[in-house]
Amino acid sequence: MKENLLNDASYCLGCIKKPCRNGCPLNNDIPSFIKKIKDSQYQESFNILSETTVLPSICGRICSHSTQCQGHCIRGIKSKPVNIGKLESTIGDISLKEDYPLPLLSNKKKNNKIAIIGSGPSSLTCAAFLARHQYQVTIYEKYNTLGGLLVHGIPSFRLDKEIVFKNISKILSLGIKVKYNQELGKNLLISDLEKKYDAIYLGIGGNISNNMNIPGEHLKGVYSANKLLETNNHPDYKDKYIIINGGGNVAMDISRTIKRLGAKEVTIVYRRSKNEMPVSQEELIAAEKEGIKFIYQTNIIKVIGDSNVEGIECLKTNLVKEKNNPRLVPIDIENSNHIIKCNYLIKAIGSHPDENILNTLDLTINNSYLQVNEYNQTSKPYIFAGGDLIGTKKTVANASRSGRDAAYNIIKYLEEKEITKTITK
């Protein structure tokens, strides 16, 4: 593992201005952790990463490096960028193998108790940074395993679950307590937690697939990509033709999953061009290599069938530039109607939080998300929220950053009592 590190690390120029760091949602000090690799100081390298992240083995594998850290690398202007993702994940793996502890960030144990609801990247990061400041932290999780999206969303072929569980074990070793099979709004109530804890963090994500709002959407054979990935409860795909509607990482994950489960043909239909897809280039290339087909500039307007899906009706689109819109906008081309036959249609056009859960919280909601102020506070000042629940950009790194920010805001609230007591209107 260590043998290949030096060559990769030596390629880094150690830029003083650190553009790669600016490209990282977590603001990892990339040149500094790589410098420690060059000096063969691997634990010191891990400690530098730990200043900003607790998931290096995971982010190093699944982040969109080409548009984030590596996309800002000076080396990449004229040649290949430094392989930052590989360096980060390798240091993370070494830390797991050699059992490097996450460094504490305070020498004083605190009496304050904080409840963390959910255990995805946002919640795990929030819990870890609070525990490293020696607060008493308890995670409440609806399943009997921790990990959230990392376990119940990202397929194993993209993220080895053993790596995830080892990362979680390292975080729990900070003294964090866990209560499993606790589902918010059912056997877990905010009103009960308010009596026991000094602060609460909500990080339950937003994994309800957006509707397409087209005729036939409720036919048998129309599925949610998010739900399929979360529950792993799939129909029989063998010898079937599958259409995926969407162009993000979830679309790639579900398409590659279905292909592995025996589908005859898997096609992604996307209403914009290839260049407009929000998917990371790494995931797009992987899907193409695995034989996933793509149909661009095509808008699905109807699901065809009596009771079961038999196909989809589509229109071709033109892409136009609109003022103040950074993306090209798809406009349907009249009379370009055509039919594509399929057995199943999978929705992968984005997701949102569960409104049924939101409505049980007695907190202010804004456009289907929990409303928070700049300190991650909800309409109750001791209840904080982050990640997909508040509309954070849907990547693991951004969710983790949101959880870390919330942890420091919770600390500020508990220790200094200086931050605002009400959300920004």
List the chain domain ranges: 5-97, 113-206+353-415, 213-350
Asked if 130 contacts 410 with a C-beta cutoff of 8 angstroms, the reply is yes
Question: Residue 56: in which H helix or E strand, if any?
Answer: helix 56-62
**What is the reported pLDDT for 66?**
87
With respect to CATH, is domain 213-350 assigned 3.40.630.30? no
The rounded Cα 54 to chain-centroid distance in angstroms is 15
The kind and range of the H/E element at 256 are helix 249-260
**What pLDDT was estimated at residue 424?**
45
Mean confidence (pLDDT) of the chain: 94
Q: Give the pLDDT band (50/70/90) at residue 329.
A: very high
CB 214 within 8 A of CB 185: no
Residue pair 70/82 in contact (Cβ under 8 Å)? The answer is yes
Residue 160 pLDDT grade (very low, low, confident, very high; cuts 50, 70, 90): very high
Q: What CATH fold (topology level) applies to the domain 5-97?
A: Fumarate Reductase Iron-sulfur Protein; Chain B, domain 2 (1.10.1060)
Question: How far apart (Å, rounded) are the C-alpha atoms in residues 108 and 46?
Answer: 23
Going by pLDDT thresholds of 50, 70 and 90, the confidence category of residue 420 is low
In CATH, what number does 113-206+353-415 get? 3.50.50.60
187 has pLDDT over 50 = yes
Q: Do domains 113-206+353-415 and 213-350 have the same CATH topology?
A: yes
The structure's pTM equals: 0.93
